[in-house]
Every structure is written in structure tokens, then in C-alpha cells.
Chain A
């Protein structure tokens, strides 16, 4: 279980999240939804200590999250990563094994073997020696998913994994996430498209600067809660969603 107590986060001097309290149980696929600027990405970044909290504690299985972070795989939004870095697909996936290696320790045969398997799982083995800026959005996302798999994590944090990717990639990723869920992994996904919520998630966290609601999708993903989170922007957002692939 991930216990979040009194989480407050500032973003460039403004309050981004206020007093969030949630107990996230293990073993579910959980969507994090809310309007643009609701603090969804900020929420997972602050849990992982990528950005500073103003106050609050995050405990995993009763201990501070910093002791557990090697077991959490994080897939950030694509624009957080320097795609021009001189690194191939295979070596990018290999960096997923780094959290479980000691300082000075180099990845060995076992790690390289695992990289091959992870690349096969998302069908990118044929791209192994390409530099990462030569890939399409969907291929790139599969590379970062493969990297997360290589970490052999128990918990996965994914930030907008379906934005700007093709249908084939989306299908591969969705199938894989279902498989991970069946293996008992915990998956948290920041998601902005309300249409797939019922299909993709067991539980949903609805955020807008504060926690609006958290619970099983069928109880929590209700018109009241959504209206509460999105307010006046809802009408606009529904129209956007119905317009098809909207990338932001």
C-alpha cells in the first residue's frame, strides 16, 4: 500500500496540490484523471521526489518511499527526455536495469538477456541498434515501457503513455499492462482522455489541485465527481475527446 498523508506541493511558487490524503492499495490498475493543470504529473513526480514536496509524507508498506524507489518504474512524458542523446534503443532499455545494480557494478549477461526479452515483449527487437530520435512516437513509447519492464519493478508510474502514439503501439501497451496487472503488479497511469477510463482502470483518482475522489471506477467515475473536477471546462473537453485523437 502507498500511504500519502497531507501532501502539499508548490509549482513555481503557486500551490499545485493541496492536502492530498490517499491510501493506494497494491495490485490494481489505477487511473489518475483531472483537467489540464490539475496537478496530475506533479502528483506522481512529487511521490517519486523528482520535485520537492512543501509538506507531507509518502510511505510504501510502512516505510518511507525513498527506501522503495528502486522497485518503482517511472515512465515520464516523452518531452521530458533528451531524444538527441547518443544512445541506441537497446542501451536505453538497458538503463532500466541500473536501479538494481550497485554503484561501480556494470550490467552483465543476465541484464543483457533481460533486455532482449523486454524488447521482444513490446515488439521492438528489430529497432535495437537505432538511435532513439529515429523512432516514431509509438515506437519510442514502447522503448520506454521496455525500459520500465527491465527494472523488474513491482509498481509502475506512467505519465500519459497513450499520448501521440499509433493504434498498434497502444494495443501492445494495453495488452502488456493487463498482463502485468494479472501478475499482481500495481500500475498508476496519468490519463487525460475520459473515454477509456472504464475500459483501462480498476480504480480512479480524480484530482484538481485537491483530491476530488478516489475509489473503484464504477462508484467513483460518476458525473458528479467529474463535474466537480472539471467544472466549466467539461463541455469543451467532451467535445475535444469526441473529435478523436487529441494530443496535448
Chain B
């Protein structure tokens, strides 16, 4: 099908693949990113995206599906961060810093064992121009699964994000929803490895969601707008990077952050122009 569109639109296949994967990644990270932003877990998201690295390396060495290894290490990181915070007086940002860097370091060491086939630079920064058809399909399926899970559990995810105290009081298992999001985050990180790489995944999750947050007063609107912004900055980023021969993932991020900057200044909700400085 992609071959057909490629000839129809007279665009090389790799370019079409790059565009499509940027759109898919933009949509899925907008959906998930909205929850990450609202739950004040941006730093946690950054930690998890780095923490999947040893999982990626091990999967490669052992010859198992990369998604399995990466989700396992993502969840393990989330559990360890929680463990350190709850069993000591160390604050969560510090425990996140410890786990992020140590898992990342472990990943780098493991990759040197597997160095014949894995390219560290590729994993860290992505290479959207070399996204194989199979990975594109995988990203698409992951996007559908993430959207399905979040729609089915929308009310539980909304209340546990908005009011965790009352959620617990009426008996909702808030811990389950925390780890569910952490797992989805690990899976999405892996599916976006080829496109943007580990280092910039967090930008895709946080920037469109934060931009959308400045415009919306309803969660569902925030999610839809964040996905749209993610997809639009993805496609614009791909086009600009092709035209001016720039690194694609970095260009996508810079397009996204430009939209954020504009929104920050002109959004009526943020009210930056009239207020200048936020009060209260």
C-alpha cells in the first residue's frame, strides 16, 4: 500500500515512511503525554525512556522481542524509583536521577557486548529515514493499543490523575493505573526508538501535551489537541529536515517547542501578554 502511495504522490518510500511514523508517534505521544504532564511525571517519563536501554540491549543479545525486554526494564525502573522513595527520606527527583543514570549506564555497557549489531547513536538519536516497514506497522499497532486502553480506562485514568486522594478513598487501585501508564510509556518509548531515539522521546511526550494544556479546559480536548500538535510538528519537522538536510528528530522537537513558545505568549488561558508575570 505504501509503495502505491509512494508512486502516486511521487515521494520516495523512505520519505513517506518517515512522514507516517512521525504522525503515528505524534498521535500516540500526545495521548500518553497528556497524562504524563497532568500527573507531574515529566521527569519520571524521562527516566523511563532512558531506563529501557538495558532492555533493548539484552533483547538484542538474547534474541527476544525488543518490546518485552524494554517494558520489563521500564517497569523495573518505575518500581525501583518508588521503592527508594518510599523506603527512605530521599525525595523522588533524586531517586529518579539515580535510577535514570544507572540504568542508562548499564545499557551502554550491555550494548558494547552486542556491538556487532546495535548502533548506540542510532538508539540514542534515532534515524527516522531508515524506519523499516515492519517497524512502521508495529508503531501503528502500538498506537491503536494505547488509544484503546486509554479509552476503555478513561474514567479511571481521569479521576486517579485529577484527585488521587478521593480515588483511593472510594477504593480505586491507584497503584495499578500508575504502573499501567509506566508500562505504556516503556512500550511507546521502544516503538519510537527508530524515529526520535531515547534522548528526545520525552520531548515528544511533554511538549505537545504542555502546549495543548495552555489552550484547553477539558481533558479530552487536551488529549485530542496534543495528538494533533504532535502529528503536525512531526510532519512539519520531517519536511523541514528534508529540505534543509537537518537531523530529523531534533528538527521535530524544535518545531514542537516553537508551537509551545507561541502558545505560551498568545494563549488566553496563560494570559502572558496581559499579566506578564503569573500571580498566585
Interface flag for A81 (CB, 8 Å): yes
- Chain A residue at minimum C-beta to C-beta distance from B158: A95
Please report the total number of B residues contacting A with Cβ < 8 Å.
24
The answer, among A50, A85, A106, A131, for a CB contact under 8 Å with B162, is A85
- When the two chains form their complex, are residues A80 and B165 in contact, meaning their CB atoms are under 8 A apart? yes
- When the two chains form their complex, are residues B162 and A74 in contact, meaning their CB atoms are under 8 A apart? no
- Residues of chain B from 154 to 196 with CB closer than 8 A to chain A in the complex: 154-156, 158-159, 161-163, 165-166, 168-171
Interface flag for B219 (CB, 8 Å): yes
Answer whether A81 and B169 are a contact pair too, CB < 8 Å, given A104-B152, A106-B155: no
Interface flag for B218 (CB, 8 Å): yes
**Alpha-carbon separation in the docked complex, A107 to B155 (Å):** 9
The answer, among B162, B165, B171, for a CB contact under 8 Å with A70, is B171
- Residues of chain B from 217 to 244 with CB closer than 8 A to chain A in the complex: 217-219, 221-222
Interface flag for A182 (CB, 8 Å): no
- Chain B residue at minimum C-beta to C-beta distance from A105: B155
- When the two chains form their complex, are residues B170 and A85 in contact, meaning their CB atoms are under 8 A apart? no
The answer, among B159, B162, B171, for a CB contact under 8 Å with A69, is B171
**Alpha-carbon separation in the docked complex, A188 to B271 (Å):** 41
Q: Mark A136-150, 1 if CB is under 8 A from B, else 0.
A: 000000000000000
What residues make up the interface of B, taking CB atoms closer than 8 Å to A? 38, 152-156, 158-159, 161-163, 165-166, 168-171, 213, 216-219, 221-222
What residues make up the interface of A, taking CB atoms closer than 8 Å to B? 45, 48-50, 66, 69-70, 72, 74, 76, 80-82, 85-88, 91-92, 95, 98-99, 101, 103-107, 131, 151, 157
What 8 additional pairs, Cβ within 8 angstroms, besides A98-B170, A131-B217? A48-B168, A72-B170, A76-B166, A81-B163, A86-B38, A95-B158, A103-B156, A151-B170
